[in-house]
Structure 1
Amino acid sequence: MSGHLDQIRDQQKETWDRFSAGWKTWDELVLRWLSPFATAMIRHAAIEDGDRVLDVAAGTGEPGLTVATAIPNGHVTVTDLSDRMLEAAADNARRRGITNFETKACDAGALPFDDATFDAVLCRFGFMFFPDVATAARQLTRVAKPGAHVCAAVWGAPERNAWATTIMTTIARHVDMPKPPEGAPGLFRCAAPGMMAAAFTDAGLRDIHEEDVTTVMVHDTPEAYWTFMIEIAAPVVAGLAKADDGARARIKTDVLQLASQSMRAGKVELRSTATVIAGTRA
């Protein structure tokens, strides 16, 4: 891996270690919010009891923990770059009495598993952060058994994800946010139509299938949405760090007003759309 990619990897590890406490605090909400994407991934992966499953960049353990409960005679390995995120995953497994589950801290670009090890490989919202998308796709393919399914989820276009743009576009109106280099890690890095399908094809996967899945992020109040985003979203914190006290106050006021416009039946509901991509190891 080049020095530049090493730097990206190290920055990602530092970021996720730092934000692990926030993710643990909001884990129940995140589980409900992202559940539809996990359900679609598991369906496309065609996982069966007795399978050995790998969940890459699983953070606090999902969707790997959900898979583990569904295959009591199988085994799930979850990986992440952040040891602290994996500590939360292990805590979640113990709390739910899940024993057919293990964690492994590692880089998705250099998975420490033998070729053709797993019956299914999953990666939910990890590709957007990997230093090199193509390398990670090849690694996920390498460790899958012939005939096994590799499945990922990536965020769709910004206009289809108000959960993120409600706050990020507001910050950008008040703070000078330099445009990141093309291809740099970020929420919408993998949103371009066909990008992930091409990466999967180039990695040696066949029978590529894509499905758009839409759900909503739900919060009790606009204030709860604000607190959630400043505790779990690194780009939000980075943007707010550029704002002085006055700008930060204006940003918060604007975000709360926008979130209040998304109230439905007394709750804040913000659209969230992702593409689920699945392919088969030849």
Structure 2
Amino acid sequence: MSAHLDQIRDQQRETWDRFSAGWKKWDALVLGWLAPFGHAMIRQAAIKDGDQVLDVAAGTGEPGLTVAGSIPNGRVTVTDLSERMLQVASENATNRGLANFETRICDAGALPFADVTFDAVLCRFGFMFFPDVAAAAEQLRRVAKPGARVCAAVWAAPDKNAWATTIMSTIARHVEMPKPPAGAPGLFRCAPEGMMAAVFADAGLRDIREEEVTTTMVHDTPEGYWAFMTDIAAPVVAGLGQADVVTRERIKAEVLDLAGKAVREGRVELGATATVVSGTR
């Protein structure tokens, strides 16, 4: 890996470690919100009891935790760059009484596992942040057994993800943020139609399928949405950090107003859409 990619990886590790407390605080909300994407991946992976399953860039443990609960005679290994995120994953596994679950700190671009080790390989919302998307796809293919399914989820286009754009677009209207280089890690980096299918094909996977999955992020109040995003989203915190006190308050007021317009039956409901892509080793 080049020095530049090493730097990106190290920045990612530092960021996820720094925000791990926020992710732990909001873990119950996140687990419920993102569950439909994990369920779609698990279905496409055709996981069965007794399988050895790898979940890459799993953060606080999903969908690996759900998989471990469904295959008592199998085993799930989850990886992440962030030791602190994996500590939360281990706590979650303990709380659920899962003895067939283990964590491993590692880089998705250099997985420390032998070739053809796993019966299924999952990666939910990791590819957008990997320094080298192609290298990561090759690693996921490498450690999969022949016939195993490799499945990933990535965020779809911004206009399909109000959960993120409600606050990020508001910040962008008030704060001049540096434009990232083309292909730089970011939330919507893998959103272009067909991008991940091409990445999987280039990695040597076959029988590639794509499925669009949509769900809703729900908060009790607009203020709850603001608190959540400012606790867990590094780009939000970075953007607000560029604003003076008056501008920050103006941003907050506009975000609360927009979130208020998304209230349905007394709760804030914001759309979230991702592409689930899978291929066979």
Q: Who is 1:275 aligned against?
A: 275
Q: Who is 2:112 aligned against?
A: 112
SS of match in other structure, 1:181: coil
Question: Cα RMSD over matched residues?
Answer: 0.3
Structure 2 gap ranges (5+): none
Q: Who is 1:93 aligned against?
A: 93
Structure 1 gap ranges (5+): none
Correspondence 1:251 to 2:263: no
Distance 1:172 1:92 in 2: 36
Structure 1 residue 165: deviation in Å? 0.1
Identity %: 76
SS of match in other structure, 1:110: coil
1:96-126, CA deviations, whole angstroms, 9 ceiling, x for partnerless residues? 1111000000000000000000000000000
Q: Who is 1:103 aligned against?
A: 103
Matches within 5 A, 1:177-188: 177-188=177-188
Q: Who is 2:124 aligned against?
A: 124
1:163-203, CA deviations, whole angstroms, 9 ceiling, x for partnerless residues? 00000000000100121110000000000011100000000
Distance 2:197 2:207 in 1: 10
Matches within 5 A, 1:233-244: 233-244=233-244
Q: Who is 1:137 aligned against?
A: 137
AA of the residue aligned to 1:76 = V
Distance 1:116 1:169 in 2: 43
Structure 1 residue 63: deviation in Å? 0.3
SS of match in other structure, 2:58: coil
Q: Who is 1:75 aligned against?
A: 75
Distance 1:237 1:98 in 2: 34
Structure 1 residue 78: deviation in Å? 0.1
1:14-54, CA deviations, whole angstroms, 9 ceiling, x for partnerless residues? 00000000000100000010010001000000000000000
Distance 2:178 2:8 in 1: 17
Please identify runs of 4+ aligned residues in structure 1 that moved more than 3 A.
Answer: none
Distance 1:190 1:172 in 2: 20
AA of the residue aligned to 1:137 = A
1:51-106, CA deviations, whole angstroms, 9 ceiling, x for partnerless residues? 00000000000000000000000000000000000000000000111110000000
SS of match in other structure, 2:163: helix
Q: Who is 1:207 aligned against?
A: 207
Q: Compute the TM-score of the two structures, normalised by the length of structure 2.
A: 1.00
Distance 2:25 2:95 in 1: 15
Q: Who is 2:3 aligned against?
A: 3
